Amino acid sequence: MSTTPPSTARPRRGAPEPAVLVLEDGTILRGEAYGARGARLGEVVFTTGMTGYQETLTDPSFAGQIVVQTAPHIGNTGQNAQDMESRKVWVRGYAVREASRIASNWRSEGSLEDLLVANEVVGIAGIDTRMLTRIVRESGAMRGGIFSGEALEGADEAALVSRVAEAPAMSGASFVDEVTIPQPVVIEPDGEAIGTVAAVDLGIKGATPRAMAARGLRVHLLPATASLEELLATQPDAVFFSNGPGDPATADDQVALLRGVLDAGIPFFGICFGNQLLGRALGFGTYKLKYGHRGINQPVLDVATGKVEITAQNHGFAVDIPVEGQHDAPFGDGRYGKVEVSHIALNDGVVEGIRCLDLPAYSVQYHPEAASGPHDASYLFDRLVDLVRAHQASTAGKDS
Amino acid sequence: MPRRDDISSVLVIGSGPIVIGQAAEFDYSGTQACRVLREEGLRVILVNSNPATIMTDPDIADATYVEPIDPDVIRTIIAKERPDAILPTLGGQTALNAAIALEERGILAEFGVEMIGASIDAIQKAEDRQLFKGVVERVGGESARSHICHTMEDCLAAAEDLGYPMVVRPSFTMGGLGSGLAYDEADLRRIAGDGLHYSPTTEVLLEESILGWKEFELELMRDRADNCVVICSIENVDPVGVHTGDSVTVAPALTLTDVEMQRLRDLGIGIIREVGVDTGGCNVQFAIHPDTGRIVVIEMNPRVSRSSALASKATGFPIAKIAARLAIGYTLDEIRNDITGTTPASFEPALDYIVVKIPRFAFEKFPAADATLTTTMKSVGEAMAMGRSFTEALGKAQRSLDVTSAVVDYSGEAPDAAEVDRLLEASRIPTDSRLVAISRILRAAAEGVLDPDQTIERLYEATAIDRWFLDQMLLIAEVAADVRAAEHLDADLLRRAKRHGISDEQIGQLRGFSGDVAKGVREALGINPVYKTVDTCAAEFASSTPYHYSTYDQESEVESREKPAIMILGSGPNRIGQGIEFDYSCVHAAIALGRDADQTGGGFETIMVNCNPETVSTDYDIADRLYFEPLTFEDVVEIYEAEKAAGPVAGVIVQLGGQTPLSLARSLQEAGLPIIGTSPAAIDAAEDRGAFGAVLQRASLPAPPYGTAWGLEDARKVAAEVGYPVLVRPSYVLGGRGMEIVYDEEGLADYVSRNLPESGRAEAPILIDSFLDTATEIDVDALFDGEELYLAGVMEHIEEAGIHSGDSACTLPPVTLGEAVIERIRTSTRAIAEGVGVRGLLNVQYALSAGVLYVLEANPRASRTVPFVAKATGVAIAQAAALLMAGSSIAQLREMGILPGSGDGGALPEDTPIAVKEAVLPFKRFRTADGHAVDSLLGPEMRSTGEVMGLDTTFPLAFAKSQLAISGQGLPESGAVFVSVADRDKRGIVLPAARLAALGFEVLATAGTAAVLRRSGVPCQVIAKASEGGPDGSVLELIESGRIALVLNTPSGTHARADGYRIRAAATSMDIPIITTLQEFQAAVQGIEALPEGHFEVRSLQEHHAFLDGARASEVRA
């Protein structure tokens, strides 16, 4: 057995530095400072995944949020460049029960705490994360703040609570400009290209273009501000809208862009935020869930096959569409034809996917790209390839 | 897909007696399955030879056959019951093997019985190494490089390719039996030789060593719509090389990133599909190279297993229950998650706590056995604990084991460099003491004697235990060091210590005061644990099931209640002497006390406390509330306080879980807990020789002369007064621990020198009893309410006094005892019950010698024989006991129908069938350090792991059934019998040997025994002793060549003579029936004579009990 030393040294022993987590309802949990010191305000949400903390932290959908990990031990395997799902950590504040003192994994390149400090994430450890989760479950996602270091010294509790209560709410919040890439990027396929996808980055995770590239698709990753012209200039065989943070009700520009794509008859696939935007483009509403779905154990029923897939989820909003039957898409005098719910969350019946019956467009609320999470839903990328091929066949016919 | 409507009855096969590798977990899974199938309206027929189980309770199945799990017997059951289907995936390897035999013999086809839950094809794909390797390859995984061998020549050729060390694994054996690691050719010859023998297909697999790799396991389920879920990931703290059953394990896995975890998940799901487990559960084991991440699939079990029981308790997801529903056609999404009550079972549990399991061993019972942990499972039980951190769960698991040396002792000095070096060297070899040794080394690092980082590296190099676990153990050591060094023990530091699992007792050691003082300080500072809930979903959804564990955190989830509650303390990890029988009694108490008062119950809220994941009692369905907690003073008191704050607590029961809760009785009472049933003072009176002697004297009951001694000198004096031979043992023991028969003063001196601490003065007195040679031993279970005695059962031992009652076969009703003796037993038992002050159960052991009924000992608690008595007599005596403790009287219980309206278990109807209880011994599991089998001699120290029951019209038939049930091969019908007896048995050997010769057996004997037989005209052949050798070969060669069908070898003198040992060891290795007492041999000959021409008749427990009820009713009328 080789004896590679651990990648990070154990911290010195001593009295832990204090930190507090404050909720807008006045709840205060006292723990130890973890990651960067300072003050961070955001919507407090919990995620139940037992693996994949690094993917969670670097998932842009968590922008603006304080994430509570229900799994008690965090940081055990350190961090590495491969498991970054985007260029940085987006989580604003981080609450854990037990922060690992060392990183132990052959792929580890450093400690998680170093990553948190480098990304200025203020964290707290040693608190009753289960109690916090139960509060969020019962009262709904709410605003909170983590305070440590100078931000905590001499601070009066009431003042902290009112700072939290004055913070902006998630409803009506937009983070698209913050998370999207500034310039288009092309991700080349593994092997020979079989088609092109224009992917609009609303907070995309690295695993999504990887899944497409693995299937021979060239991905043009476009900023969220891309116009229809810019999008069509990539000559896409399909268009993709990614996941991302914030309230879908604020994304009017992207809804308009998506309608242009549907009108052009280009196949469309959306994930998470992209699903909500397809819903809105078709004329349905979206609404905020009480405390959302965040975890990698979420059962989803594929209505067409009756099969269950275990999925990764991270959403606080959902599309408002009746689960049963086929419905006329309300927008534009029925020009988008009929729509049905394709996937349903088995835990609570929330809509997890929609499919247009008269257009080559479908989307899911959950994360078939996984990372972190199970690979059960990867077939949805195969379906994208099928649509690309069908589109190529039909346009080839027109051209000739 | 709804339930199939083409199945209306199903035969469930149980796992038989408790053996190492196949224990109480199958009672848990089998019970769950039977209950679910009945709820679904199916007629459930069960076969299981183990009477100690809840599963074989008559109200768990519609027809319960406590019969041998043997293809011929099962055929008879199938012919009688004509089930539509057979479910073999819930009874371990025993059930799978039985199902394969039924299929291969065409029995399933003959009666049109469908196998559900698994197919023969799937079982074979999973279990046949070569086929499984193909499976792994097809799903894109890797197996260790290997060769399949059928002969020793194959093995040696394979070794050329693989190099040493290599792993040897026999095909189709359970619990890894016969597998091991070969470091050189001699090892290979020995291990592979045994493996070829044990494998039913004479097949072993040799493979590249993955020793020291990280080891993981996934528990998966699949339904008939091909939905697959992973219920739990388990990580072994001990790396590859130690059987997973012997490893310290943790759930969920803690040292993998999501990328690796999903790779395991993909492989696991690929494998369950490719193997073709259509419905139900399986586990898949993986090894991961710690430096490269290379993944190797080790194996899969296409059935419910020990790990699935652990995973069920760890997650709250009841795998066996769900598997039973899937087997009859449901899909996962159609089944509700009982814990949340709202979400479906088609999900993967999320844990917000850490589970640690630690195995419990019994090496002290087998001093000759090599205690190195290998790929052959050797543990006899396990404890599980939960906490909100690994450190907390580890500390709780260690104290749950109920083994003093398993808990880190912080008293004294930190180890010096020399001790560290010694401990480090020792920790290279995995043993059950390794974890504590590592903690001791880390203490030196925490107290500044060693550099922490270097120490972790040295430990990693020595053990290959992941650095993360080592660092967590260092963290505990550091917190302990802080507690020791702190000027004042303030609230923050104390809370920190409690959060890392350090007990009050340990804090006392660190601060130089007692655990009680530590508890007082803790309480004064307002530091108490809170109770969290196991809810399958990390609090994402509300849970309706009060399945709790303690932790030092902020919020408690214990709900308040109105009804008075009774707390039942379970028995902790299974061990030899304290096993599933005690769990049976605890479960019955929960059932009876929890039943509504108008339905013959106690009408209480029931609270179960236990830490054994294998058991039925720790199923969240059994009691109203379940606390999965260590059974220590500290932990039990805290639960009591939390429950008292939630509502009234009417009582705490310590009498049913064996010695573990009983030993807490006095301190719990002093702490103010309302102990119900027999009082702690009365319990002490029964244990204390002086007080108990006075009870006997007052009742004029004779006891063998005895005395107590504290050192060698007074021991000599007492033994001389009492007269040799004497039975010596430490007081306060269960299972005859440390008990020996000593024939002379030399033997006594030897015993005392081995059992006294260096101080020369024992901590508890040594008991010295006169040993009644050739007495008939009688075991009695009774109930007493202060007024009336109910004699529940009288069992006559087949072996004479001197063999521990747990290892002795016995019959109920007694075969040779007359009515007058029974009446004396009844009045004596009553006098003892009254004298001691029993309320509830009482077990008394008597010896009948030359017409005198001596009292050997009395135990005012549930005994090992309670379930056997209940099944043999058709009376739920453990339920009755619980109700008595809660205040009912025997008269009331008779009226309620819990006890028979009149009469008792000592007066059974004349033609009552005979029930024989026979012990199952684990000798073939153990090897000495040089690789030989350990001695299989019986003695006053209990060594059996489990038991079977044989029920038939006569004693010989019932005995023959019991022999078939313990080994699967039963008594021989023909062949050669080898007899070699001690001088004292030479008179008794003649008749049975003559009978065997008359039945056509070839009788072989050593010279001395042969001379006796020849003089009596019994034809026999003289065989050279093991040490002699001769023209026809020695007895060892004959045994090893498989020429002998049965061996009788009774030991002579104080110590087993070398020759006898070698004979017994050879027979154990070859799995030849070996009998070591004359009485059992006589019974065996009776059984052989009675063996039926065709097949055994079978009778269900329900039929048996209906017969008894009918006979009792007609007696009342008469």
In the block, residue with structure tokens 């430096």: B291
Q: What is the mean pLDDT of residues A135-158?
A: 93
CA distances from A204 to A59, A84, A92, A210, A213 (A): 8, 12, 18, 11, 14
Distance CA B621, CA B627 (A): 12
Beta strands in B897-1043 (DSSP E): 914-920, 946-952, 976-980, 1002-1005, 1021-1022
Q: Which of residues 134-163 of A touch B (CB under 8 A)?
A: 134, 137
Q: What is the dihedral of CA B796, B801, B807, B811, to 10 degrees?
A: -10
Distance CA B276, CA B118 (A): 8
- Is the pLDDT reported for residue B580 higher than 60? yes
Q: What pLDDT digit, counting tens, does each position of B370-381 carry?
A: 999 988 899 999
What burial letters (b/e) apply to A333-349, b meaning 16+ CB within 10 Å?
A: eeebeebbbbbbbbbee
Q: What is the mean pLDDT of residues B703-707?
A: 86
Residues of B whose CB is below 8 A from A50 = 233, 252, 350-351
- Is the pLDDT reported for residue B1114 higher than 70? yes
In the block, residue with structure tokens 């407090």: A44
Looking at the structure, give the CATH architecture of the domain made up of residues B9-123. 3-Layer(aba) Sandwich (3.40)
Q: What is the mean pLDDT of residues B604-626?
A: 97
Handedness of CA B343, B349, B355, B356 (dihedral sign): positive
In the three-class reduction of DSSP (H, G, I as helix; E, B as strand; rest coil), residue B68 is classed as coil
Which of B55-59, B710-714, B885-889, B1106-1110 bottoms out in mean pLDDT, i.e. has the lowest?
B710-714
Distance CA B1027, CA B1038 (A): 13
In the block, residue with structure tokens 């907390």: B392
Q: What is the mean pLDDT of residues A358-384?
A: 97
Residue B757 confidence (pLDDT): 62
A5, B461: Cβ pair inside 8 Å? no
For the record, the structure tokens of A50 come out as: 């037992």
Binned at pLDDT 50, 70 and 90, residue B755 comes out as: confident
Q: Which residues of B are annotated as a binding site for ATP?
A: 129, 169, 175-176, 208, 210, 215, 241-243, 285, 299, 729, 770, 772, 777, 802-805, 845, 857
Distance CA B59, CA B220 (A): 30
Kindly calculate the radius of gyration of chain A based on its CA atoms and give it in whole angstroms: 22
In the three-class reduction of DSSP (H, G, I as helix; E, B as strand; rest coil), residue A218 is classed as strand
Residue B938 confidence (pLDDT): 82
Name the residue facing A10 among B348, B452, B553 (closest C-beta): B452
Residue B1027 confidence (pLDDT): 67
Q: What pLDDT digit, counting tens, does each position of A280-299 carry?
A: 999 999 999 999 999 999 99
DSSP symbol at B176:
G
* CA proximity to B150, closest of B132, B176, B130: B130
Specify burial of residue A141 (Cβ count, 10 A radius: 0-12, 13-18, 19+): buried
Residue B734 confidence (pLDDT): 52
Q: What pLDDT digit, counting tens, does each position of B283-309 carry?
A: 999 999 999 999 999 999 998 888 999
Distance CA B862, CA B883 (A): 13
Contact assessment for residue B910 and residue B928, using Cβ atoms and an 8 Å cutoff: no
Kindly calculate the radius of gyration of chain B based on its CA atoms and give it in whole angstroms: 28
Name the residue facing A375 among B256, B266, B538 (closest C-beta): B266
Q: What pLDDT digit, counting tens, does each position of B581-591 carry?
A: 999 999 999 99
- Is the pLDDT reported for residue B685 higher than 70? yes
* CA proximity to B380, closest of B250, B246, B234: B246
Annotation says A356 is catalytic: no
Name the residue facing B461 among A3, A82, A307 (closest C-beta): A3
Contact assessment for residue B79 and residue B73, using Cβ atoms and an 8 Å cutoff: no
Domains of chain A in start order, with CATH, are 18-165 (3.50.30.20), 176-399 (3.40.50.880)
DSSP symbol at B927:
B
* CA proximity to B646, closest of B560, B547, B564, B548: B560
Residue B67 confidence (pLDDT): 97
Binned at pLDDT 50, 70 and 90, residue B602 comes out as: confident
Cβ neighbors of A41 (< 8 A, separation 6 or more) are A66, A92, A93, A143, A144, A145, A163, A164, A167
Amino acid identity at A5: P
Cβ neighbors of A345 (< 8 A, separation 6 or more) are A293, A298, A299, A300, A313, A351, A352
Binned at pLDDT 50, 70 and 90, residue B935 comes out as: confident
**Is residue A14 within 8 angstroms of chain B, CB to CB?**
no
Residue B763 confidence (pLDDT): 62
For chain A, the average pLDDT equals: 94
Distance CA A257, CA A277 (A): 10
A71, B538: Cβ pair inside 8 Å? yes
Distance CA A359, CA B446 (A): 67
Name the residue facing A72 among B265, B352, B456 (closest C-beta): B352
Interface probe for B, chosen from A102, A138, A367, A369 (most Cβ of B below 10 Å), is A102
Contact assessment for residue B258 and residue B281, using Cβ atoms and an 8 Å cutoff: no
Contact assessment for residue B14 and residue B95, using Cβ atoms and an 8 Å cutoff: yes
- Is the pLDDT reported for residue A138 higher than 90? yes
Contact assessment for residue B1074 and residue B1068, using Cβ atoms and an 8 Å cutoff: yes
Q: What pLDDT digit, counting tens, does each position of B1061-1112 carry?
A: 888 888 888 888 889 889 999 999 999 999 877 789 999 999 999 999 999 8
Distance CA B147, CA B203 (A): 11
Q: What pLDDT digit, counting tens, does each position of A9-28 carry?
A: 555 566 789 999 999 999 99
What is the pTM (predicted TM-score) of this model? 0.94
Contact assessment for residue B91 and residue B26, using Cβ atoms and an 8 Å cutoff: yes
Q: What is the mean pLDDT of residues B627-642?
A: 98
Residues of A whose CB is below 8 A from B532 = 130
Q: What is the mean pLDDT of residues B101-110?
A: 96
Residue B1031 confidence (pLDDT): 56
Name the residue facing A70 among B265, B538, B555 (closest C-beta): B538
Question: Which residue intervals of A109-240 are DSSP H helices?
Answer: 112-118, 129-139, 157-165, 176-179, 207-214, 228-232
For chain B, the average pLDDT equals: 92
Q: Of A243-252, B2-11, B198-207, B632-641, where does the model show the most confidence? A: B632-641
Looking at the structure, give the CATH architecture of the domain made up of residues B685-917. 2-Layer Sandwich (3.30)
Residue B761 confidence (pLDDT): 59
Residue A5 confidence (pLDDT): 41
In the block, residue with structure tokens 């310590």: B654
Residue B1033 confidence (pLDDT): 67
Annotation says A369 is catalytic: yes
Residue B23 confidence (pLDDT): 87
Contact assessment for residue B90 and residue B303, using Cβ atoms and an 8 Å cutoff: yes
- Is the pLDDT reported for residue B177 higher than 90? no
Residue B853 confidence (pLDDT): 96
Q: What pLDDT digit, counting tens, does each position of B15-34 carry?
A: 999 998 888 899 999 999 99
Binned at pLDDT 50, 70 and 90, residue A1 comes out as: very low
Distance CA B655, CA B593 (A): 14
Q: Which residues of B are annotated as a binding site for Mg(2+)?
A: 285, 299, 301, 845, 857, 859
The reply to whether B145-209 and B359-527 are identical in fold is no
Interior CA angle at B1032 toward B1028 and B1038, to 5°? 85
Q: What is the mean pLDDT of residues B909-938?
A: 86
CA distances from B612 to B575, B580, B582 (A): 11, 10, 12
Checking DSSP bridges between strand B914-920 and strand B1002-1005, what pairing results, if any?
unpaired
Contact assessment for residue B269 and residue B220, using Cβ atoms and an 8 Å cutoff: yes
Q: What is the mean pLDDT of residues B518-531?
A: 97
How many whole angstroms from its chain centre is CA B928?
Answer: 22
Residues of B whose CB is below 8 A from A72 = 352-354, 388-389
- Is the pLDDT reported for residue A6 higher than 60? no
Kindly name the residue from A85, A343, A369, A391 that is annotated as catalytic.
A369
- Is the pLDDT reported for residue A2 higher than 70? no
Residue B732 confidence (pLDDT): 57
In the block, residue with structure tokens 């907690």: B629
For the record, the structure tokens of B553 come out as: 């955190």
Element (H, E) at B643: helix B633-646
Q: What is the mean pLDDT of residues A220-237?
A: 97
In the three-class reduction of DSSP (H, G, I as helix; E, B as strand; rest coil), residue B389 is classed as coil
Distance CA B661, CA B194 (A): 41
Distance CA B855, CA B696 (A): 8
Q: What is the mean pLDDT of residues A129-146?
A: 95
Looking at the structure, give the CATH architecture of the domain made up of residues B922-1090. 3-Layer(aba) Sandwich (3.40)
Residue A8 confidence (pLDDT): 43
* CA proximity to B90, closest of B15, B10, B39: B15
Q: What is the CATH number of domain B359-527?
A: 1.10.1030.10
Q: For residue B21, give how far its alpha carbon lies from the nearest alpha carbon of chain A (Å).
A: 30
DSSP symbol at A376:
T
Amino acid identity at B481: A
Checking DSSP bridges between strand B114-115 and strand B146-149, what pairing results, if any?
unpaired
Beta bridge partners of B207: B146, B167
Q: What pLDDT digit, counting tens, does each position of B145-159 carry?
A: 889 999 999 999 999
A77, B293: Cβ pair inside 8 Å? no
Looking at the structure, give the CATH architecture of the domain made up of residues B531-655. 3-Layer(aba) Sandwich (3.40)
Amino acid identity at A179: V
Spell out the domain ranges in chain B.
Answer: 9-123, 145-209, 359-527, 531-655, 685-917, 922-1090
A77, B256: Cβ pair inside 8 Å? yes
Distance CA B1061, CA B1081 (A): 18
Amino acid identity at B836: V
Annotation says A309 is catalytic: no
Kindly name the residue from A24, A55, A272, A340 that is annotated as catalytic.
A272
For the record, the structure tokens of A168 come out as: 């902006």
Distance CA A362, CA B839 (A): 71
How many whole angstroms from its chain centre is CA B927?
Answer: 20
- Is the pLDDT reported for residue A242 higher than 50? yes
Q: What is the mean pLDDT of residues B134-148?
A: 94
For the record, the structure tokens of B926 come out as: 């153990």
For the record, the structure tokens of B411 come out as: 């008293």
A105, B256: Cβ pair inside 8 Å? yes
Distance CA B994, CA B997 (A): 5
Beta bridge partners of A293: A315
Checking DSSP bridges between strand B1002-1005 and strand B1021-1022, what pairing results, if any?
parallel
Specify burial of residue A312 (Cβ count, 10 A radius: 0-12, 13-18, 19+): buried
Q: What pLDDT digit, counting tens, does each position of B946-1003 carry?
A: 999 999 999 999 999 999 999 878 899 999 999 999 888 899 999 999 999 999 999 9
Contact assessment for residue B391 and residue B350, using Cβ atoms and an 8 Å cutoff: no
Indicate the fold that domain B145-209 takes in CATH. Dna Ligase; domain 1 (3.30.1490)
Binned at pLDDT 50, 70 and 90, residue B843 comes out as: very high
